[in-house]
Structure 1
Amino acid sequence: MPMLNIGSTKQLFFDDYLIESLVNAKQGLNPAVKVDNNPVIRAERPWEGNFMRPNKVIFDPIDGIFKMWYSSATITVHLENGKPVPGGAAGLLLDTHGSVMCLATSKDGIHWERPSLGLVQFDGSTDNNILPTKEGLPPAPAFQDLREKDPAKRYKALMMIGDTQKRGMQYDLYYSPDGINWTPYEGNPVIDTGQELGRWAGRFQGWDPIRETYYVTMEASHHWRGPYGKRLIGKAESPDMIHWSEPEIILVPDKDDYPDTEFYSLPVFAYEGIYVGLLWIFRTTNVTHHPEVIFSRDGFHFQRNYREPYIPRGGSRADFDFSSVYAQDTIIHGDNIFTYYIGTNSRSPEIAFELGDKSTEGIGLAVSRLDGFVSLDSGKGWVVKDRSEEELRHIYGERQIFEEPESFGQMTTRPFGFSGSRLYLNTSMAPIAAGPSPGEVKVEILRANHKKLPGFSFNDADSITVGGTSQVVSWNGNSDVSALAGKPIKLRFYFKNAKLYSFQFK
């Protein structure tokens, strides 16, 4: 069997691909943390209503700023004689007024400004950030295509004509130099179901740098009208955004899901050579949504090992994201991972009616540390030993520091080869009050047959006691491992009061 060669690719711990064994350690989800100023854009202008959502968020490397296309409207339950009126797709009639698409910009992705675009009149003035929209044209880009050589096609979007309930659904392709002014592809439609029912609703589109193709992830089940009677996730690919493969179902609820679980949508992005998805879990009985982080190594077969919410819903009914959290765009920025989301406290019109003027939808942001989706977590470093009652009485309340290897959580990798001259860790330490000793990480290098390499043993390893996203590993003060590059080795991590997120040779 050929040796696994990881080169200088960063290795995360979301699955057992490289993990041979774990001792007193476990993989765990790290939910993203909502920023304090959520919702990050509030309805503060006359043209902004109680419902606001991010349609697209990017960091534009050309202009060096974050950009957000967001929509806003005032939506209320339609009342006659003070009572809601049955009807419409949602079960009760809704009144929608003042729908607009707007553009916001930001230097840090957290604090946003509304540039005066001068493009659309509102109450006799063009001093606003409203974007021009036109029936039949995309209101916002699906993605920014930085590979595109033609600047007139820098932004792309597929736009659906028809729906999944009727025959003859089509998709048209549009290009734009700026995400505002759109030109249709001359060969539209690029998707035409003819006399078949609509095949898919492609919410998330983009370029896949791993498989080097364009993709769409979609609800590929004719909404709930497919054979399963539930919403499911599918995927299609294209070399050019024009010629598309037949959609393939890639995710269905399983026996570990609640009976009312459906999959509403799947934003997915490439991250360090793997696919990370934020699967929208829809509980139809509870009428709630939350994102679940899932992983894949091929883009089609996803692992759902962590079923807790990646971004939890709000805790109070009046919170803007109490009912549903719909993850949208994820942006890697510095040492942080930003995930923007739609939050609402009134997924159903019945709840909107009950909440009255507190019914809302807003633009949220949750942040994770770099590589921080999943970590290997260890314990405090206690060693279970037989002690007399007098010894236990003596040590109670004192910090006991144990240095022997068995006091550490341990993870041993499978054999692999690498390229590079140094080993870097992404790790964090627990607060000192959380355990009897400070956080500590040591790394041992073994031969493929498990024998220790002279100079790289536990006793040779220097302790890492400070967290960071790129901590250099060393042995007796020496961090150079270039002599081992290309040879089969194993790593054994020893850690206590600490989390490990990733490692990388470079």
Structure 2
Amino acid sequence: MNPSSRPVLAAFLAAAVTPALHGQQARPLVERQKPIPVSTERHLFLDDELVEARAKVVRVMHRPVKQADPVLVGDQPWEKWTVYLFGSPSIHFDPVKRLYRMWYTACDVPVDHYFINYATSTDAVHWTKPLLHLQDFKGSKANNIVNQGRVFWINSTVILDERETNPERRYKSLSWDFAPAQAAETWPEGFYRPSASAEHKKGRPLGVSVAFSPDGLHWQPYEGNPVLMNTGDTHSVIGWDESYKKYVGYFRPSYAASGGIRVIGFSTSDDFIHWTPPEIILKPDAEDPISDEFYDMPVVKYQGSYIGFLWMYHNSPNPALVRSPTLAHVKGSQQALDTQLTYSRDGKSFIRVGNREPFLPVGAPGTWDQGWATVSDMIVRDQEIWLYYSGWGTRHNNDQEQLGKVVGGLRLMAAIGLAKLRLDGFASLHADDAEGIVQLRPIALRDQRHLRVNADTSRGMLAVELLDENHDPIAGFTRSDFEIM
């Protein structure tokens, strides 16, 4: 069929692929819908935006498969307490050097300083920590530290900005750091926290800070830091988003703005320095346990949509207690963190995929990530999706002296792990033993001459039929005209 002569189509798929799943009744058909333009990007079926009706077909979320051991551990004196990824992006591929580059947060013991460290890899599995001789650690620069703040310079996200015309600002980062010393009374309530650190005791306010670099190694903090004061200490950034014609980031609004719990906020910037106040876009609702909070949500743009990795903080205090930022310190709390999968077409309106079940759960008791498993970044490699996550053997409010110790035969640590998923394999539509039907809404084809479907027919079959805008089969493209797969 010549696509230019019949640009408005609807697809009808019938499949009986995977047994033992309950079916879903078809939704009522909506006549004469406006056709949806279809690009060459792949549709992931994480929502029903293109689905007009489906019967005896359910959506199933697929969990990535964890690699048994972490890919990066804290084996240097300046990272003995913890190494982790916090937010995206954290990993880039350099096509010139043919290297994967990672920026991660680390801390020594006692916890009196955090660092941003740097590692490289040729295969994204085995990582090398080059001695950069850039930053001092206890009298020596023989380390892989690339940046450090006055006390805390943590949770960095790094982007390579291909649009940037200033070579000194090709690399940009957002981190959590102290602001310059100013009178505490000049800052809004809720931006201070107690610590054993002398700098903390001075009452210096906290905030999101920006740094620039020509190469990702030599960083210069922005002189006007912090650039955001009304956020918590977690964030991620997409970078420049062509859909918005702005830089897009996700921040945790202050407790004052969120009602005393951790939630997800959305912010944009024209220059990576001046950010809009974070708009709350996702927060726990009545279907969530009263103690659950949204710790962070790294977001990546993939196939034209937004994939979010929602960090679920299962605080689990006494259910009779009212939600409060102080609940994180209630003794006996579970305080585990795992990851749920979210999805959006516009970067703001997210749905939670998988019936709120963990996309990446914590490890079984006795494994290195038994207390914490939070996805921070993803790459596509070897026709797979590789997800890098922070794993901890302890819970959120752990006793810092526990990390590095052997408890019950297990060395408790915070490290960086890897989990793998088939390409585009976040979710799929499954039929049971009976024939399942998926009918798409009208779609508009322009230059495309092929419609492709990714299906597993090893335990069933797939049939296809094309319908016109009136839902009538198109002659020559009916179910009987196509070969059954």
The aligned residue for residue 456 of structure 2 is 428
The aligned residue for residue 360 of structure 1 is 413
The aligned residue for residue 321 of structure 2 is none
- Residue 422 of structure 1 aligns to a residue whose secondary structure is coil
Partner Cα distance (1:192, 1:415) in 2:
44
Report if aligned partners of 2:339, 2:375 keep a CA contact under 8 Å in 1.
yes
Partner Cα distance (2:258, 2:112) in 1:
37
Match of 1:411 among 435, 438, 444: 438
TM-score by length of 1: 0.71
Q: Once the 2 structures are TM-superposed, how far is the Cα of residue 8 of structure 1 from its aligned partner? A: 2.8
- Residue 419 of structure 2 aligns to a residue whose secondary structure is strand
Match of 1:13 among 32, 35, 45: 45
Judged with a 3 Å threshold, the aligned counterparts in structure 2 of structure 1 residues 74 and 240 are, in CA distance, closer, same or farther, namely: closer
The aligned residue for residue 321 of structure 1 is 369
One-letter amino acid of the counterpart of residue 144, structure 2: I
- 1:50-449 aligned at under 5 Å gives the runs 51-54=82-85, 56-73=90-107, 75=109, 95-96=110-111, 101-117=116-132, 119=134, 130-136=144-150, 142-159=158-175, 160-162=177-179, 164-166=190-192, 170-185=207-222, 188-189=224-225, 191=227, 198-201=230-233, 203-205=235-237, 206-222=239-255, 226=257, 228-285=259-316, 286-306=334-354, 307-316=356-365, 318-347=366-395, 348-349=397-398, 353=402, 356-357=405-406, 358-379=411-432, 381=433, 407-419=434-446, 420-429=448-457, 438-449=459-470
- Residue 168 of structure 2 aligns to a residue whose secondary structure is helix
Partner Cα distance (1:5, 1:132) in 2:
45
One-letter amino acid of the counterpart of residue 131, structure 1: I
Q: Once the 2 structures are TM-superposed, how far is the Cα of residue 61 of structure 1 from its aligned partner? A: 3.4
Moved more, 345-354 or 52-61: 345-354
Report if aligned partners of 1:104, 1:114 keep a CA contact under 8 Å in 2.
yes
Unaligned runs of 5+ in 2: 1-32, 180-186, 193-203, 317-333
The aligned residue for residue 451 of structure 1 is 472
Judged with a 3 Å threshold, the aligned counterparts in structure 2 of structure 1 residues 45 and 7 are, in CA distance, closer, same or farther, namely: closer
Report if aligned partners of 1:332, 1:338 keep a CA contact under 8 Å in 2.
yes
Judged with a 3 Å threshold, the aligned counterparts in structure 2 of structure 1 residues 227 and 6 are, in CA distance, closer, same or farther, namely: closer
The Cα offsets for residues 325-378 of structure 1, whole Å up to 9 and x where unpaired, read as: 122112233522221111112123359759943321111111112211111112
TM-score by length of 2: 0.74
Report if aligned partners of 1:345, 1:360 keep a CA contact under 8 Å in 2.
yes
Q: Once the 2 structures are TM-superposed, how far is the Cα of residue 461 of structure 1 from its aligned partner? A: 1.8
Judged with a 3 Å threshold, the aligned counterparts in structure 2 of structure 1 residues 429 and 113 are, in CA distance, closer, same or farther, namely: farther
One-letter amino acid of the counterpart of residue 250, structure 2: T
Partner Cα distance (2:268, 2:146) in 1:
31
The Cα offsets for residues 215-263 of structure 1, whole Å up to 9 and x where unpaired, read as: 22111033xx556321111111111112222221111101110110111
The Cα offsets for residues 281-312 of structure 1, whole Å up to 9 and x where unpaired, read as: 11101211111111112221111242111111
- Residue 296 of structure 2 aligns to a residue whose secondary structure is coil
The Cα offsets for residues 88-137 of structure 1, whole Å up to 9 and x where unpaired, read as: xxxxxxx33896543222222223233454556889987x6522444349
The percentage of aligned residue pairs carrying the same residue is 31
One-letter amino acid of the counterpart of residue 298, structure 1: D
Unaligned runs of 5+ in 1: 76-94, 382-406, 431-437, 465-506
Structure with greater Cα Rg: 1
Q: Once the 2 structures are TM-superposed, how far is the Cα of residue 270 of structure 1 from its aligned partner? A: 1.4
- Residue 412 of structure 1 aligns to a residue whose secondary structure is strand
Q: Once the 2 structures are TM-superposed, how far is the Cα of residue 156 of structure 1 from its aligned partner? A: 0.8
Judged with a 3 Å threshold, the aligned counterparts in structure 2 of structure 1 residues 235 and 200 are, in CA distance, closer, same or farther, namely: farther
Aligned residues: 402
- Residue 349 of structure 1 aligns to a residue whose secondary structure is coil
Q: Once the 2 structures are TM-superposed, how far is the Cα of residue 62 of structure 1 from its aligned partner? A: 3.9
Moved more, 258-267 or 10-19: 10-19
One-letter amino acid of the counterpart of residue 184, structure 1: P
Judged with a 3 Å threshold, the aligned counterparts in structure 2 of structure 1 residues 462 and 112 are, in CA distance, closer, same or farther, namely: farther
Give the number of the structure with larger relative contact order, counting CA–CA contacts within 8 Å between residues 6 or more apart. 2
Judged with a 3 Å threshold, the aligned counterparts in structure 2 of structure 1 residues 68 and 217 are, in CA distance, closer, same or farther, namely: same
Structure 1 vs Structure 2 CA RMSD: 3.1
One-letter amino acid of the counterpart of residue 426, structure 1: N
One-letter amino acid of the counterpart of residue 149, structure 2: E
Report if aligned partners of 1:218, 1:234 keep a CA contact under 8 Å in 2.
yes
- Residue 7 of structure 1 aligns to a residue whose secondary structure is coil
Report if aligned partners of 1:209, 1:270 keep a CA contact under 8 Å in 2.
no
Q: Once the 2 structures are TM-superposed, how far is the Cα of residue 214 of structure 1 from its aligned partner? A: 0.7
Matched, 1:24 2:59: no
The aligned residue for residue 331 of structure 2 is none
Judged with a 3 Å threshold, the aligned counterparts in structure 2 of structure 1 residues 147 and 333 are, in CA distance, closer, same or farther, namely: farther
The Cα offsets for residues 367-399 of structure 1, whole Å up to 9 and x where unpaired, read as: 1122111111123x4xxxxxxxxxxxxxxxxxx
Q: Once the 2 structures are TM-superposed, how far is the Cα of residue 323 of structure 1 from its aligned partner? A: 0.9
Judged with a 3 Å threshold, the aligned counterparts in structure 2 of structure 1 residues 429 and 121 are, in CA distance, closer, same or farther, namely: farther
One-letter amino acid of the counterpart of residue 435, structure 2: F
Partner Cα distance (1:174, 1:121) in 2:
18
Report if aligned partners of 2:250, 2:267 keep a CA contact under 8 Å in 1.
yes
Judged with a 3 Å threshold, the aligned counterparts in structure 2 of structure 1 residues 49 and 275 are, in CA distance, closer, same or farther, namely: same
Report if aligned partners of 2:81, 2:404 keep a CA contact under 8 Å in 1.
no
